Amino acid sequence: MAQRLQFLKRKRYAFPIGLLLIIGAGLAGLAALRNGGSGPGSAADSGDSGSAAAITSDVHFYGQSPPVYPSPNMTGVGPWADAFSKARALVANMTLSEKISLTGGTSSNTSCPGFVGAIPRLNFTGLCLADAGNGVRGTDFVSSWPSGIHVGASWNRALTHQRGQGMGGEFRTKGVNVLLGPVVGPAGRVVLSGRNWEGFSVDPYLAGALVFETVQAVQAVGVTTSTKHFIGNEQETNRNPSTSSGVTTEAVSSNIDDKTMHELYLWPFQDAVRAGTGTVMCSYNRVNNSYGCANSNLLNGLLKTELGFQGFVVTDWGAQHAGVATALAGLDMAMPNPDPFWGSHLAAAIGNGSVPESRLDDMVTRVIAAWYRMGQDKNYPAPGIGMASDLLKPHAIVDARNSTFRSTLLDGAIEGHVLVKNTRGALPLKTPRMLSLFGYSAKNPDHNSPSAIAWTFGAESFSVSDLLAGFMGPGTVGTVPVGINGTLYSGGGSGAPSQSLMVSPFDALVQQAYDDGTALFWDFTSAKPSVNPASDACLVFGNAFATEGSDRPAARDDFTDGLIRHVADQCNNTIVVLHNAGIRLVDQFVDHANVTALVFAHLPGEASGRALAALLYGRANPSGRLPYTVARNESDYPALNPDLPAGDFARFPQSNFSDGVLVDYRHFAARNITPRYEFGFGLSYTAFNYSNLSVEKASIPPPNSTTTTNTTQLFAPHPSGAVREGGPEDLYDTLVHISADVTNTGAVAGAEVAQLYVRLPSYAGVPQLRGFDKPFLNASQTAAVRFELTRRDLSVWDTAAQKWRLLPGRYAVAVGRSCRDTPLVGEVVIP
């Protein structure tokens, strides 16, 4: 759909011009909320109090997000120097009209959701911005890659990098200049958030490591990444403002204190900036009651000053709600078009002095510098050349698929499956005589056609009307928990890649059964199917669907759980496969004596069936690990559901992040809650032993350090280096070296995910992931795994100094198979 649906245009001011306090450059004003007890983040001022008159004006919230002005200019630091120089020269030759044309989208004869027009006289060819982080959407002849949650479950940096290369190459071939991804927001705080599947993990370290690889790989082939959604975009419900009967309800505000912001939600964005991401997308929601795309503290302060971000900030589609305010707050480009706030209005604001022309010059310099930085000025496909505006009309075929990456598609699909139960030798299967298959998620949907909006937004297995109910409005809680019409390759919404070819589990199992001479029976429609007790195994396939625009209604569903129990009552070897676009609880069936195996199959992309068959039959050894925690009960999570408008804040929905950094497994550890399956857990067909832990402090600056830090300075309380992309350069100095041996003690080859957890002095009872490695080991083989702990890894955010602080004391370190299974334990003492 042209321009990603025009309904996303909004005309709501969120930040009155009168509040634009110019308070100076640098880090002035970065002293954000010091604790979670101020403003609506406190219990005393919660949306449920009803103790005061209903809030009807934004004035109530003024000052909760500190103003940071002016917007810092791009500096061209590090690898941006040449691009910066070229961009400044080009911008110097532009007219005011030409410069303004680069700050917003325009229409085109392509299906690019965003398009920036060319300036022919200056040889600027324009930009195509296209969805998304899991593959190209809305076009033909592209691959459907494993989704973010699936990549997170692989715990594989190298494979993530390969995915980025292959996926980026397809965007380039299609003439896409800016890939609208990857996703590290939402982070996953709200368990039932509708877009968690697009991101890698609820853990900031794991998400940061994988977004780093993705950004570097995609941009290495010349495509700019737009890391999103910045920031606190943790629920879909009320993600946008809405008006009913003349009364406006603003977008939900994510109320996040300064320490939590840095140690959790900003962390993976920091890794993306350090990797060089060319653009960052600001989010729909408000943060501390200031809209994300008009929040000077976020854009000018955290992103452009503290992290040294060199690229440009683009809105999510329709997320601009003010004109002058957004320009001064650090926004650089409005999508899908500049109306109604910029365009001629921006020209007028520059003319009357409301916006300095130097701010416009910086906006455009950042856009052009990213274009130069990726080499898009030379031998790059024309913008949108492979993005036909109507796939049902004759059009030139641009086949972006590259056979070189078929193995990456398959390996990625395999490694994101997580085996969490395997009893009585249920798996791998050994040439069974009879298999019985049940469940709606085994087969392909009945349709795969560009003629349907369901195809465009990844809802072939779901109800498109249910998808659009949330997607076309302010965001809501969904009503349907599953994709009943077929298996899932991805979730729904703008992050869904187009399906040009896919292999379902049923497709692959039919082929396997044919090769083995296995009798195969199935029923994919009945809630209580007939079950042949003579079956060697019964496979039950279910799913948990999620989509942009709606939060999930539940973490389990009675229909699927009832189907599983019904089959298990009659089949003593019942294997369950769940394609889950988020956390799926399993306690209603997993302890059934006849449920012998359980696989979280996530969202594998087009190679789904081939990958599953390889795992079920032992041609591949499961090596996926959970990138989240599976609880026993919904009540075990600190934030299961989205926050809804309530009480005095009915017109200004509030989501108070009172859990701080204690999300997912950190919360379970701090509250001593035993999960069903912990973060980092996963089974293999072999076994691994850990030994020989070594923990050594660095005594000299590491070889990769760019500073002249001496040993004493290395352990100084605060970093003191110059700000580069990602923050102070010495924040990444290695302070501690850790190694351990991992031995495959089983009979078959396999990969093990060795995980390093650290307990910081200020969070003594809470493990935090700070390293992982994934060696592939033959039977009886031993390999050393090595981890380097940087200053950042060992620091906490000092809200008073507004710097990362290395605390003196004892740091417990542990290496093992998951956050709760760490056989090797040691410590390091920081003076």
CA distance 14 to 442: 46
* CA angle 637–639–643, rounded 5-degree value: 155
Could you confirm whether 316 is annotated as catalytic? yes
Closest alpha carbon to 630 in 588, 593, 659: 588
Q: Which residue has the tokens 């993005």?
A: 387
CB within 8 Å of 329: residues ≥ 6 apart: 15, 71, 293, 294, 295, 296, 299, 300
User: CA dist 64 to 30, 32, 254, 596, Å?
Assistant: 12, 8, 12, 53
Beta bridge partners of 691: 741
Out of 45, 203, 271, 316, the active site residue is 316
DSSP letter (8 states) at residue 80: G
Closest alpha carbon to 737 in 667, 815, 678, 672: 815
CA distance 609 to 509: 8
Beta bridge partners of 422: 597
User: CA dist 738 to 43, 694, 702, 790, 828, Å?
Assistant: 42, 5, 14, 11, 10
Inter-residue contact 550 to 475 (CB < 8 Å): yes
CA distance 401 to 274: 29
Q: In the structure encoding, which two tokens stand for residue 284, read together?
A: 């729909």
Inter-residue contact 579 to 557 (CB < 8 Å): no
User: Residue 453: is it exposed, middle or buried by C-beta count within 10 angstroms (0-12/13-18/19+)?
Assistant: middle
Inter-residue contact 492 to 459 (CB < 8 Å): yes
Inter-residue contact 643 to 234 (CB < 8 Å): no
Q: Please, how many CA atoms are within 13 Å of residue 280, restricted to the half-sphere of its CB? A: 34
CA distance 352 to 791: 47
User: Residue 228: is it exposed, middle or buried by C-beta count within 10 angstroms (0-12/13-18/19+)?
Assistant: buried
CB within 8 Å of 319: residues ≥ 6 apart: 10, 282, 283, 284, 291, 292, 293
Q: Is the peptide bond before 182 cis (omega within 30 degrees of 0)?
A: yes
At 772, the amino acid letter reads F
The alpha helices in 30-187, defined as continuous H runs, are 81-92, 96-101, 148-154, 157-173
Closest alpha carbon to 639 in 188, 294, 248: 188
CA distance 791 to 805: 9
Closest alpha carbon to 316 in 75, 105, 597, 86: 105
Inter-residue contact 599 to 420 (CB < 8 Å): yes
The catalytic site residues sit at 316
